[in-house]
Amino acid sequence: KDVQKEREPHVYLSKEEVKEKIQSYNSSVTDKLKMTLNANGVYTGFIKVQMELCRPITVQSSQSQGRSTPSNQETAFYLPDGCVNTLHISSTNTVREVIEALLKKFFVADNPAKFALYKRCHKEDQVYTCKLSDREHPLYLRLVAGPKTEMLSFVLREHETGEVMWEAFSIPELQNFLRILDKEENDQLQILKNRYAAYRGKLEEALRGVLKPG
């Protein structure tokens, strides 16, 4: 069930409360991805983000990394569904910063404004998916929920169709999307042609058997 943007009040914890929660969190961790509390009160840790992208992403090749303008060394492709990535972040990092870091880690050239971070959680035997605001702090949410992804997980998606800022796409990206759509259309067309050709062959064979003299 998808719900609106996160509107739950942000509960501010004291340094002692944060310390206690981190100790409790680390005692429950099973994958060694523990949190660390620094002297200044900022803590660091890991979050896992599941990629649920319906549209192709544009990835930079090693030759085009670091360039500010698109090049023909960029490739658009569909990311496999269910891909999970792990990020090391701090309690000060916002949702927008997490999205930017995730895309940068994997050399994704697409504008971060095209994407949104969601949280998926269990409440009253139901699963809720809620879009987080850009000002939320994912590591805080992870700390409060505990390390179990069954209780809370993060998902990266594109904005809904009505929210897509098409002006954020470069011309090479749009051209890549069109090429992918053309290929998919041609593939589907060929499948249909082969299917009906097979039907036609069977019908003609049946007709020959019916019309055969004797």
Q: Measured between alpha carbons, how far is 26 from 106 in angstroms, rounded to an integer?
A: 28
59 CB-side CA count, 13 A: 12
Checking if the pLDDT of 38 tops 70, the result is: yes
Q: Are residues 184 and 99 in the same domain?
A: no
pLDDT at 156: 92
Q: Do 50 and 86 contact (CB within 8 A), yes or no?
A: no
Cβ contacts of 26 within 8 Å, gap of 6 or more: 34, 35
Q: Measured between alpha carbons, how far is 25 from 213 in angstroms, rounded to an integer?
A: 84
Checking if the pLDDT of 67 tops 60, the result is: no
Q: Are residues 77 and 152 in the same domain?
A: yes
Q: Are residues 132 and 181 in the same domain?
A: no
Q: Are residues 108 and 178 in the same domain?
A: no
Q: What is the CATH number of the domain that holds 100?
A: 3.10.20.90
Higher-pLDDT residue of 165 and 78 is 78
Could you report the per-residue pLDDT of 195-214, keeping only the tens digit for each? 899 888 888 888 877 776 65
Q: Are residues 185 and 90 in the same domain?
A: no
Q: How many domains, in total, are found in the chain? A: 2
What's the average model confidence in pLDDT over 147-163? 81
Q: Are residues 127 and 193 in the same domain?
A: no
pLDDT at 195: 87
Q: Do 197 and 147 contact (CB within 8 A), yes or no?
A: no
Could you report the per-residue pLDDT of 86-125, keeping only the tens digit for each? 999 999 999 999 999 998 887 888 888 889 999 988 777 7
Q: Are residues 41 and 55 in the same domain?
A: yes
For strands 84-90 and 43-51, give the pairing. Answer: antiparallel
Residues in the chain: 214
Residue 3 resides in a domain: no
Q: Are residues 155 and 195 in the same domain?
A: no
User: Of 35-39, 62-66, 118-122, 175-179, which gets the smallest average pLDDT?
Assistant: 62-66
Q: Are residues 23 and 129 in the same domain?
A: yes
- Given 162, 182, 201, the domain boundary residue is 162
What's the average model confidence in pLDDT over 4-22? 73
The continuous run of DSSP H or E covering 98 comes out as: helix 95-105
Highest averaged pLDDT of the listed ranges 60-74, 123-137, 157-171: 123-137
Residue 207 resides in a domain: yes
Q: Are residues 106 and 196 in the same domain?
A: no
Q: Measured between alpha carbons, how far is 99 from 123 in angstroms, rounded to an integer?
A: 25
Q: Are residues 82 and 182 in the same domain?
A: no
Could you report the per-residue pLDDT of 177-187, keeping only the tens digit for each? 778 778 888 88
Q: Are residues 151 and 189 in the same domain?
A: no
pLDDT band at 172 (very low <50, low <70, confident <90, very high): confident
Residue 2 resides in a domain: no
Q: Measured between alpha carbons, how far is 81 from 95 in angstroms, rounded to an integer?
A: 22
Residue 28 resides in a domain: yes
Burial class (CB in 10 A: 0-12, 13-18, 19+), 116: buried
Residue 159's alpha-carbon distances to 49, 98, 134, in angstroms, are: 16, 16, 13
- Residue 4 has which token pair? 């609106």
pLDDT at 4: 47
Residue 37 resides in a domain: yes
pLDDT at 82: 76
Domain range enclosing 197 = 167-211
Q: Do 107 and 155 contact (CB within 8 A), yes or no?
A: no
Cβ contacts of 92 within 8 Å, gap of 6 or more: 42, 137
Tokens 């910063």, residue located: 97
When the pLDDT of each residue in the chain is averaged and rounded to a whole number, the result is 81
Q: Do 67 and 164 contact (CB within 8 A), yes or no?
A: no
Residue 8 resides in a domain: no
- What amino acid occupies position 110? D
Which residues make beta-bridge pairs with 145? none
Residue 120 resides in a domain: yes
